[in-house]
C-alpha cells in the first residue's frame, strides 16, 4: 500500500442551514483548488461547458441542492474529495449517508443569523461520529452578529470549544478584512474579485498604522481589546481536541467575494486528517491494510440523460482499487462481481479511473448490482455497518394513472428506493397501481413525482396518507398474528420492501395506545445512531 497516497487524501463534506452559502463556498474552494477558472464555470477538457454542483432540473428551478455531488481536485499536493450535500432538511437522509463517507466537515454559518436549526441537527450527527469540524462564518460583507457572540453560540448552543483562527475587522459595508491570529497577519478586504476570480488582499501587521485610519480610533481600540482578550482568555488550538470533534477552528470571511476562503483551505489541508480506520464486524479496518475494501453510501440514477445509467458511489476504506478487479457478491452467490467502468466524478463530468486509494470516492456503473450499505471487499466476511436506517416522518400515496406506463412506474419507484429517495410500503388488499411512499421530508415526494414523469415517462398522482408514525414489528411477527387484536382507530398493517411487517399510526397517541393495550408485541423504530441499530 502506498502510504504517501493515503496521507495526502482529504475527504470532507460541507454542511449548513439552507442559504448560509454552502454551494457558494464549494464553488470558491474549487476556484482556489484550480478546478475552476472563474466562479460558476467548471473547467471542461474540451468544450468549456459550464457545470455546477446542482445538476438536476428541479434543483435549478428551486435554487436548492437536493442530491449530494462528489468533486475531486488537487491542491498544494493534496488530493481533495469534496462531497457537496443537500442543505434542505427534507433531504436529510442523503446528507446523513454522505457523512458516513467523510473524515471531516466544514460547517458554514451565516454570520448575520448565527446557528440555525439545520446546522444544529447536522452538527449532532457529526458529534455522534466524532467527525472533526472546521467552521466558516460567512457573509461578513453583510451586517453580522458580534464575532464574540458568534463564538459564544458555538460554545453554548453546540457545546464545542471554538478557536478563532481569523478575526474580522467590521462587517457589512464596514467590513475591512480579517486578522490571521496564527501568523499575526492582516488580510485587507477588496471586492474587486467578486464572483469571477481569486480575492485580492494585502498582507500587513496588526500594528500597521493604516489600521487606525481604516477602522477609526474608537473601533480600532475595541478591536485591539478583542484580540488581546482572545489571546489571554481564549482557548488555545489543540489538535487532539479538533480530531475527536471537541474543538472547532473558526474562520471569518465572505464566500461570494472569495475572501477568507484560501485561509480556510490552507489551514484545512494542513490540519484535517487523512483517511481513518473504519469499524466493521471484523474490528477496525486500517486504511493501510493491503486488501481492498469499501462501502456504497449513495446510488444515483440518470445523472447523465445521454447514458440513462445508475451510479453507485463507493467510499474506499482500505487497499487499492484497480479497474476491473473482482469482489465477492455482497448479497451472496457464487459469482463474483467485476468492478468495471469506475468513474471519477466532478459534478456531471466523468472520467475513467484506473486506480483509487483510501479516502477516494468512486462512481461504479450499476445495473441493480449494488444497494446502499453494501460492503465491497476482498477481505472474506467483512461487513461495514456504516449506513443508518431512517424512519419516515411523512407519507403519501402515489398512483399510476396509465396502464400502459405501469412498467415505467414500477421501475422508477424501485430505482428511487435503491437510491434512498423514498421508502416503499405495500398495504394488504390495496390496488397494485397504488403504493405508499415514506420519506423524511415532503419535498422528496415532489422529487419522486418529477423524476417519474420526466425520467421514466410515467403518469402519476400524489395523494395524502393519514399516517405520521411508523413502527417495525419484531422479526418473525407478521400480519396473520394480529387476528382478533384491537389495533386502534386508523391503524394499518403494511410491509416494507424487504417484506418485514410494519404498523402505521395516524399520530403518536395512537402509537402509545397500541403499545399500552398490546404490551407483548414488540415495536421498533429505526434510529440514525452510529451503529444503525433498531431501537
Examine the fold and report which residue of 343, 377, 411 is the final residue of a domain before the chain moves on: 377
Q: When comparing pLDDT for 45 and 56, which is higher?
A: 56
Q: Is residue 306 part of a domain?
A: yes
Judgement on whether residues 99 and 207 belong to the same structural domain of the protein? yes
Judgement on whether residues 303 and 159 belong to the same structural domain of the protein? no
Judgement on whether residues 238 and 306 belong to the same structural domain of the protein? no
Calpha distance 233→224 (Å, rounded): 14
Q: Percent of the chain, pLDDT > 90?
A: 41
Q: Is residue 181 part of a domain?
A: yes
Examine the fold and report which residue of 214, 238, 271 is the final residue of a domain before the chain moves on: 271
pLDDT of residue 521: 83
For cell 395524502, the residue is 464
Q: Is residue 203 part of a domain?
A: yes
pLDDT of 534 above 50: no
Long-range CB contacts (within 8 A, 24+) of 179-185: 179/206, 179/227, 180/263, 181/227, 181/230, 181/231, 182/237, 182/267
Q: What is the pTM of this model?
A: 0.80
Judgement on whether residues 266 and 298 belong to the same structural domain of the protein? no
**Which of 82-86, 183-187, 213-217 holds the top average pLDDT?**
183-187
Q: Is residue 212 part of a domain?
A: yes
Judgement on whether residues 297 and 259 belong to the same structural domain of the protein? no
Judgement on whether residues 465 and 320 belong to the same structural domain of the protein? no
pLDDT of 307 above 60: no
361 in Cβ contact with 11 (< 8 Å): yes
pLDDT of residue 64: 41
pLDDT of 58 above 60: no
Q: How confident is the model at residue 245 (pLDDT cuts 50, 70, 90)?
A: confident
Give DSSP secondary structure letters for 298-360. EEEE-SSTTT--EEEEEEEEES-EETT-EE--TT--SSPEE--SEEEEETTEEEE-SEE-TT-
Nearest-5° angle of CA 25, CA 29, CA 32?
Answer: 140
pLDDT of residue 195: 54
Examine the fold and report which residue of 350, 377, 404 is the final residue of a domain before the chain moves on: 377
Judgement on whether residues 410 and 510 belong to the same structural domain of the protein? yes
Q: Is residue 520 part of a domain?
A: yes
Q: Is residue 530 part of a domain?
A: no
Q: Quickly count: other Cβ atoms within 10 Å of residue 389's Cβ.
A: 18
Task: Classify residue 151 as exposed, middle or buried by CB count within 10 Å of its CB (0-12, 13-18, 19+).
Answer: buried
Which pLDDT tens digit goes with each residue over 19-41?
A: 898 888 988 888 887 766 555 54
Average pLDDT of the chain is: 82
Report, as an integer, the average pLDDT of 244-252: 92
pLDDT of residue 386: 78
Residue 306: domain span: 293-377
pLDDT of residue 166: 95
Which pLDDT tens digit goes with each residue over 361-387?
A: 998 887 767 888 899 999 999 999 877
Q: Is residue 529 part of a domain?
A: no
pLDDT of residue 532: 34
Judgement on whether residues 400 and 368 belong to the same structural domain of the protein? no
469 in Cβ contact with 504 (< 8 Å): yes
Q: When comparing pLDDT for 87 and 9, which is higher?
A: 9
Report residue 65 as a C-alpha cell: 441542492
Q: Is residue 245 part of a domain?
A: yes
153 in Cβ contact with 127 (< 8 Å): no
Count how many domains the chain has: 3
Judgement on whether residues 229 and 110 belong to the same structural domain of the protein? yes
CATH number at residue 403: 3.30.70.3280
Q: Percent of the chain, pLDDT > 70?
A: 81
pLDDT of residue 45: 37
CATH number at residue 302: 2.40.30.10
Judgement on whether residues 170 and 227 belong to the same structural domain of the protein? yes
Report, as an integer, the average pLDDT of 341-347: 76
| Sign of the CA dihedral with 67 first, then 73, 77, and 79 last | positive
> Residue 191 gets which letter from DSSP?
G
Report, as an integer, the average pLDDT of 434-458: 87
Judgement on whether residues 462 and 493 belong to the same structural domain of the protein? yes
Judgement on whether residues 125 and 158 belong to the same structural domain of the protein? yes
Task: Classify residue 313 as exposed, middle or buried by CB count within 10 Å of its CB (0-12, 13-18, 19+).
Answer: buried
CATH number at residue 14: 3.40.50.300
Which pLDDT tens digit goes with each residue over 133-188?
A: 999 999 999 999 999 999 999 999 999 999 999 999 999 998 989 999 988 888 88
Calpha distance 399→462 (Å, rounded): 7
Report, as an integer, the average pLDDT of 74-78: 93
Amino acid at each position: 500500500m502506498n502510504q504517501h497516497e493515503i496521507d495526502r487524501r482529504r475527504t470532507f463534506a460541507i454542511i449548513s442551514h439552507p442559504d448560509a452559502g454552502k454551494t457558494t463556498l464549494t464553488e470558491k474552494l474549487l476556484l482556489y483548488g484550480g478546478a475552476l477558472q472563474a466562479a460558476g464555470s467548471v473547467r471542461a477538457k474540451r468544450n468549456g461547458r459550464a457545470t455546477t454542483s446542482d445538476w438536476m432540473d428541479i434543483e435549478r428551478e428551486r435554487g436548492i441542492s437536493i442530491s449530494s455531488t462528489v468533486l475531486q481536485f488537487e491542491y498544494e499536493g493534496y488530493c481533495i474529495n469534496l462531497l457537496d450535500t443537500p442543505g434542505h432538511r427534507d433531504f436529510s437522509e442523503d446528507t446523513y449517508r454522505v457523512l458516513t463517507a467523510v473524515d471531516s466537515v466544514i460547517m458554514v454559518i451565516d454570520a448575520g443569523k448565527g446557528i440555525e436549526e439545520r446546522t444544529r441537527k447536522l452538527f449532532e450527527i457529526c458529534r455522534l461520529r466524532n467527525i472533526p469540524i472546521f467552521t466558516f462564518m460567512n457573509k461578513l460583507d453583510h451586517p453580522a452578529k458580534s464575532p464574540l457572540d458568534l463564538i459564544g453560540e458555538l460554545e453554548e448552543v453546540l457545546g464545542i470549544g471554538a478557536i478563532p483562527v481569523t478575526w474580522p475587522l467590521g462587517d457589512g459595508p464596514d467590513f475591512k478584512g480579517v486578522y490571521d491570529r496564527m501568523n499575526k497577519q492582516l488580510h485587507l478586504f477588496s471586492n474587486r474579485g467578486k464572483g469571477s476570480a481569486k480575492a485580492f488582499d494585502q498582507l500587513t501587521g496588526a500594528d500597521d498604522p493604516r489600521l487606525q485610519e481604516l477602522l477609526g480610533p474608537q473601533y480600532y481600540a475595541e478591536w485591539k481589546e478583542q484580540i488581546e482578550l482572545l489571546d489571554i482568555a481564549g482557548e488555545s488550538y489543540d489538535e487532539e481536541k479538533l480530531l475527536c470533534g471537541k474543538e472547532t477552528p473558526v474562520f471569518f470571511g465572505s464566500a461570494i467575494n472569495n475572501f477568507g476562503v484560501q485561509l480556510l483551505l490552507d489551514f484545512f489541508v494542513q490540519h484535517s486528517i487523512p483517511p481513518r480506520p473504519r469499524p466493521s464486524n471484523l474490528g477496525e479496518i486500517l486504511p493501510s491494510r493491503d486488501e481492498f475494501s469499501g462501502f456504497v453510501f449513495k446510488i444515483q440514477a440518470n445523472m447523465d440523460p445521454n447514458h440513462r445509467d445508475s451510479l453507485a458511489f463507493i467510499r474506499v476504506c482500505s487497499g487499492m482499487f484497480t479497474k476491473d478487479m473482482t469482489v465477492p457478491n455482497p448479497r451472496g452467490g457464487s459469482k463474483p462481481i467485476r468492478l468495471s467502468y469506475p468513474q471519477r466524478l466532478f459534478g456531471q463530468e466523468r472520467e475513467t479511473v484506473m486506480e483509487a486509494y483510501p479516502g477516494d470516492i468512486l462512481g461504479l456503473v450499476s445495473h441493480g448490482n449494488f444497494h446502499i450499505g453494501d460492503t465491497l471487499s476482498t477481505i472474506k466476511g467483512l461487513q461495514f455497518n456504516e449506513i443508518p436506517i431512517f424512519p419516515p416522518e411523512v407519507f403519501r400515496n402515489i398512483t399510476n394513472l396509465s396502464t400502459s406506463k405501469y412498467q415505467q412506474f414500477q421501475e422508477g419507484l424501485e430505482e428511487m428506493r435503491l437510491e434512498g429517495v423514498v421508502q416503499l410500503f405495500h398495504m394488504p388488499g390495496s390496488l397494485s397501481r397504488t403504493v405508499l411512499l415514506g420519506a423524511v421530508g415532503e419535498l422528496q415526494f415532489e422529487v419522486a413525482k418529477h423524476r417519474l414523469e420526466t425520467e421514466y415517462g410515467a403518469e402519476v398522482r400524489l395523494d395524502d396518507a393519514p399516517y405520521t408514525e411508523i413502527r417495525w414489528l419484531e422479526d418473525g411477527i407478521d400480519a396473520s398474528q394480529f387476528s382478533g387484536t384491537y389495533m386502534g382507530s386508523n391503524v394499518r398493517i403494511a410491509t416494507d420492501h424487504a417484506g418485514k411487517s410494519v404498523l402505521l399510526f395516524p399520530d403518536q397517541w395512537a402509537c402509545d395506545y397500541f403499545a399500552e393495550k398490546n404490551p407483548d408485541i414488540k415495536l421498533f423504530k429505526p434510529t440514525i445512531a452510529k451503529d444503525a441499530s433498531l431501537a
